[in-house]
Structure 1
Amino acid sequence: MKVLSQEKIPESRVCFEIEIEGEKSQAAYDRNLKSLSKSVRVPGFRPGKAPQKMVLRHVGAENLKATILQELLEKALTDVLKDKEEELQVIGSFDLLSSADELLDQLEYGEPLVFKAAIDVQPAPELDKYSGFELKVEKIEPDLSQVDETLHQYQLRQSTLVPVEDRGAELGDVITIDFTVADEDGNELPEMGAEDMPMEMDESDFIPELIQKLVGIKLDETREITVTVPEGYLDDEYEGKPATFTITLKDLKARELPELDDDFAQAISDRETMAELREFLEQRIIDEAEETTKANLEGAILEQLVENLTIELPHSLVSREVDYMLQQQAMYMQRNAQGDDQMLKKVFGQKEFVAEMRRLNEPEAINRLQRTMALAEVARLEKITVPEEELKTKIDELRQNLGGQQVDDQTLREVIEDEMVTEHVLEWLKENSQIEYVPEGSLEPDPAALDADLDSESEEEAQPVEVEVVEAEAE
């Protein structure tokens, strides 16, 4: 095997032009034919006694040629990898650039065979700039009023519903209604109406204007209420247009909320007093605001790094990152599938669905790889490492948290070291940037970030984050 040429090609690949010597193809032919002569049964001859021409006719000259070609190519590419393993950081395996059919036609035993193959290599990032960034970062101020909202949500969960007969409906009550809906021309919309529908007297639960005009309605009373339909409540064709709701109150219940005392604190958390619970919730809000501000800063730094990064990402690396992201998404869906594993398998078993998921995830996969490569390049240029003692301490802490769970020592070390180097690099970048903190909401949102926020909002819509935190602490 001879490497006739070696050149870099786009997408961080190296193309090799390789020659297989004629004596190797002849030797492969002789060896394979001899082996077949011993093993192939030819009618009319005892095993191993048939003439080679008869054996060749029996197995097919083209079939043998294809087998020999595959053997020669695999051996040549394996030898190339061995010769170049110190020179190149290869990723994945070779792709044959020459046509297999053309190579079959060209293969003549005893004559040299030339072909081309390419392989992905670790990309070489280049940073035009990585320090002295001038950054504007939104600083998130903690909103401690969320404590009262969280506690109120818990009061609602612990509340008791009591029938009411001596007054009209008030905000905070739970009502049951029959209702019909008519459009602006007075035509009833049967698909929009309902009977015995329970509803909260809460402006966030239904059309706010409608809830306001229901205040004071009494049992068995019927009201006709015309409102302008806001977005998201009826079909799109009715949005922004007037609609008339004819509503009859069938049932009315008030909520009796528990007192915000120490007993209540103990019932919903592991805190002994309401003061301790408030302090815990306040600290959580403060910590979350600080973490969000930190994330805003690091996001701004990474955005600047990527803008100053030049890199060609090989397809195999992007594909591997997409695979990882799809794995994570499948695991998330499995945790939330409520035991419907068959549905999940059916969804991910559809080639069209998986192909679309790959397409949608590819831009984020590329961005993640760019950020990772940029951070690694800063670490290399600035010789940022983790002191061995600091690394060992972190590994020991994690082992204690794993509670005896078995993990590969080398893998654990590599993961922890990568994370710690990233943290050190980010700190270095912060120290070497000019940072101006600005009020929340004062910067133009990035469209990609806005899409991510919308996705996360849909996941968190069910209940406030602080409520989940208290439950986790209680458990």
Structure 2
Amino acid sequence: MELVVGAAAQVWSRHPQTRLSPALKHFRPSKRQTLPLAPSRRSEPRLPPSFSRASRVPILASAAISVEKAEKSRFPTEIMVTETEEPRSSLRLNIEVPPSVCKECYKKVLIEFSKQAKVPGFRPGKKVPESILVNYIGRNNIQQAVIEAILKQTLPQAMASVEGRALKDSVKIVTNFGDMYDSFSPEDTFRYGVTVDVASEIKWLTEAKYKNLKIVVEIDKAITAYNASEIELWRRHKALGSLKIVTDRGLQKGDVAILDILATTLEGNASKGKKIPSTERKGFHLDTEESDNLVPGFLDSIIGIQQGETKSFLLHFPESWEQEGLQGVHAQFSVKCKELFYRDLPELDDSLSEKLIPGCSTLDQVRELILQRCKEVEQTAIDQATDNAILEQLSKIVDVDIPQSLFEEQGRQLYGAQLLQLQAEMKLNEQQLASLSSEKSVNEYLEKEKVNISSIIKQMLAVGDIFERENLQYSTEELVKEVENSIEEFKQSNQEYVDERVRQQVQDVLEGAKVLEWLRENSNIQYVYR
């Protein structure tokens, strides 16, 4: 038996490091370009929940904790374990270890130290009297090693009481090590407490559960194929034009302006407040025909501005404004027009067909090809909106007491995936990455996204429950293909991965696809265009 010094550090590790699986965001289990587990309607990139099967299906027990499996107990006396229910699907296990076990661990620790310690006056491996060994090693070190030995020996045995219920990686020793140290004596009963999360019971809030769902899917008219094709043709036509300087008038709709923008908040007395850094721009390129992302009233306020002129005006950020801290803010804007251009466009006729889309000879061919592509995009958007609406409805009709460990794991997975994407898009420096990766930043994200993370977990648990209740299945060929695709993407991006974890995540994605397909066929879905 090996010396158990350092085992406590393993016992206290609640969340072993888990690598994210960025390749999963590219999974498309069917021809429908749809991510089955996307939880939100927001326009940010869709990221699948990085659930492992262990998150949903309870596993347990000794394999689910962060300690090595102890050798089969040879102690004549069993430990005593008392269970107490705690909030958020958690159990507290109060464990009492009899003196006989404590004494046995104490003896084993002395034997190991005696074998390994080089005590002056004694040959290596020679038995050293207890008093001399204790003085040489130090009573504090020996006592700490004995406590660690007791934990390593008894924790798997205690966890057997929750076998089949405990969630993976959710075990946490809650008794302070210092308190254990202060109260320890080999002659007395040793006590410590452990908390462990258990699988949550899914409660359906409707009598019919998930059957015959009534789903309303809102579709933006802007994504209809015809509208999108006209916009795309217009953009391609614009790209063939040239910009020419405006010399005899002010800004008009259709022009392009180069602007310097500055904004400050307004206090209650209408005096100037603080600068708003996120609105400050130098040499901002404004296409007046593509201004949907501007503060309401901005474009109207600068219509007529001429090159070299500066205009000041008041605007109000709407409550629905996406950027944090600006909702409802009144601001004073100062805008200087540095350059002003108009577009000189060629006539839109068959002569431009080859330039608009290579291989086309007529404008009708161009329109038809663009429309065909937009129809594909439209169907993808409708499928995605449908899946999102179904998942959102599922989260509303289930009640789950979400374990804290499951919430934190899912939240950290989502946050980590966002960091990976942000790093890829913005090339964060080490200081920025360290700041965003700090425990403070992670906890702020978990608090801010609490509702969204909880909704994702509810959706996943509901999907898993439906998959089992309806006895849905996917083929081995599908699983093998998606696993191979995922691993190949990991290799191409030089990302580390664990085969089993990739397989588990692929299984969850495939299950989600099958469940959503079943729900689409067995729900009353109404499409509303806005």
Q: TM-score scaled by structure 1?
A: 0.69
Offset of residue 76 of structure 1: 0.7
Q: Which amino acid aligns with 1:304?
A: Q
- Maintained 8 Å contact 1:138/1:293: no
| Cα separation, partners in 2 of 1:230 and 1:310, compared to 1, 3 Å | closer
Q: Secondary structure at the match of 1:317?
A: helix
Partner of 1:73: 151
- Deviation string 1:398-417 (CA, Å, 9 cap, x unpaired) is 85798798697766654444
Offset of residue 67 of structure 1: 1.4
2:400 aligned residue (302, 306, 311): 311
Partner of 2:321: none
Partner of 1:371: 459
- Maintained 8 Å contact 1:127/1:305: no
| Cα separation, partners in 2 of 1:167 and 1:132, compared to 1, 3 Å | closer
| Cα separation, partners in 2 of 1:228 and 1:309, compared to 1, 3 Å | same
- Maintained 8 Å contact 2:315/2:330: no
Q: Which amino acid aligns with 2:242?
A: T
- Maintained 8 Å contact 1:305/1:374: yes
2:21 pairs with 1:21:
no
- Deviation string 1:261-288 (CA, Å, 9 cap, x unpaired) is 6775555656545544433432343344
Q: Which amino acid aligns with 1:136?
A: V
In 2, Cα distance between equivalents of 1:381 and 1:121: 21
- Maintained 8 Å contact 2:99/2:186: yes
In 2, Cα distance between equivalents of 1:148 and 1:62: 79
Partner of 2:523: 433
Q: CA RMSD in A?
A: 4.7
Offset of residue 347 of structure 1: 2.8
In 1, Cα distance between equivalents of 2:350 and 2:119: 93
- Maintained 8 Å contact 1:201/1:211: no
Q: Which amino acid aligns with 1:14?
A: L
2:210 aligned residue (130, 137, 157): 130
Offset of residue 71 of structure 1: 1.0
Offset of residue 334 of structure 1: 0.9
2:374 pairs with 1:285:
yes
In 1, Cα distance between equivalents of 2:505 and 2:284: 51
- Maintained 8 Å contact 2:253/2:288: yes
| Cα separation, partners in 2 of 1:282 and 1:50, compared to 1, 3 Å | same
Q: Secondary structure at the match of 1:88?
A: coil
Q: Kindly, what percent of the aligned residue pairs are identical?
A: 21
Q: Secondary structure at the match of 2:472?
A: coil
- Maintained 8 Å contact 2:252/2:304: no
Offset of residue 60 of structure 1: 3.1
In 2, Cα distance between equivalents of 1:360 and 1:262: 54
Partner of 2:5: none
Structure 2 counterparts to residues 151-170 of structure 1, below 5 A: 151-163=233-245
In 1, Cα distance between equivalents of 2:260 and 2:111: 89
| Cα separation, partners in 2 of 1:289 and 1:94, compared to 1, 3 Å | same
Q: Which amino acid aligns with 1:430?
A: R
2:438 pairs with 1:347:
no
* Structure 2 residues not aligned, in runs of 5+: 1-77, 264-270, 276-281, 319-327, 492-496
Q: Which amino acid aligns with 2:95?
A: I
Partner of 1:56: 134
2:197 aligned residue (114, 117, 120): 120
Q: Which amino acid aligns with 2:147?
A: L
- Maintained 8 Å contact 1:91/1:122: no
In 2, Cα distance between equivalents of 1:85 and 1:14: 9
Per mean C-alpha deviation after superposition, the further-off stretch among 340-349 and 402-411 is 402-411
Q: Secondary structure at the match of 1:385?
A: coil
In 1, Cα distance between equivalents of 2:486 and 2:95: 52
Relative contact order, higher structure (CA 8 A, sep 6+): 2
- Deviation string 1:328-383 (CA, Å, 9 cap, x unpaired) is 1111111121x443353243254433332232233322211110001111122222
* Structure 1 residues not aligned, in runs of 5+: 182-186, 441-475
| Cα separation, partners in 2 of 1:348 and 1:270, compared to 1, 3 Å | farther
Offset of residue 77 of structure 1: 0.9
Offset of residue 289 of structure 1: 3.7
Equivalences, count: 416
Q: Which amino acid aligns with 1:19?
A: E
Q: Secondary structure at the match of 1:435?
A: strand
| Cα separation, partners in 2 of 1:74 and 1:363, compared to 1, 3 Å | farther
1:419 aligned residue (509, 515, 520): 509
- Maintained 8 Å contact 1:15/1:118: yes
2:437 pairs with 1:360:
no
1:332 aligned residue (421, 424, 447): 421
Offset of residue 327 of structure 1: 1.3
- Deviation string 1:383-441 (CA, Å, 9 cap, x unpaired) is 2222x3xx51575488579879869776665444433332232233334333343342x
| Cα separation, partners in 2 of 1:16 and 1:145, compared to 1, 3 Å | closer
| Cα separation, partners in 2 of 1:89 and 1:97, compared to 1, 3 Å | closer
| Cα separation, partners in 2 of 1:279 and 1:347, compared to 1, 3 Å | farther
In 1, Cα distance between equivalents of 2:486 and 2:186: 63
- Maintained 8 Å contact 2:261/2:334: no
Offset of residue 315 of structure 1: 1.4
Offset of residue 134 of structure 1: 3.2
| Cα separation, partners in 2 of 1:39 and 1:346, compared to 1, 3 Å | closer
Partner of 1:460: none
Offset of residue 251 of structure 1: 6.9
2:288 pairs with 1:202:
yes
Q: Secondary structure at the match of 2:409?
A: helix
| Cα separation, partners in 2 of 1:432 and 1:30, compared to 1, 3 Å | same
- Deviation string 1:162-195 (CA, Å, 9 cap, x unpaired) is 45668887654456799999xxxxx9xxx9xxxx
Q: Secondary structure at the match of 1:78?
A: helix
- Maintained 8 Å contact 2:261/2:284: no
Partner of 1:451: none
| Cα separation, partners in 2 of 1:415 and 1:104, compared to 1, 3 Å | closer
In 2, Cα distance between equivalents of 1:105 and 1:411: 41
Q: Secondary structure at the match of 2:215?
A: strand
- Deviation string 1:201-256 (CA, Å, 9 cap, x unpaired) is 83748944455445xx7x99x8x98x9644469x96666xxx999x9x99765432
Bigger radius of gyration:
1
- Deviation string 1:303-348 (CA, Å, 9 cap, x unpaired) is 33223322222211111111111111111111121x4433532432
Partner of 1:444: none
In 1, Cα distance between equivalents of 2:479 and 2:118: 66
Identify, as 1 or 2, the structure richer in helix: 1
Q: Secondary structure at the match of 1:16?
A: strand
Q: TM-score scaled by structure 2?
A: 0.63
| Cα separation, partners in 2 of 1:264 and 1:361, compared to 1, 3 Å | farther
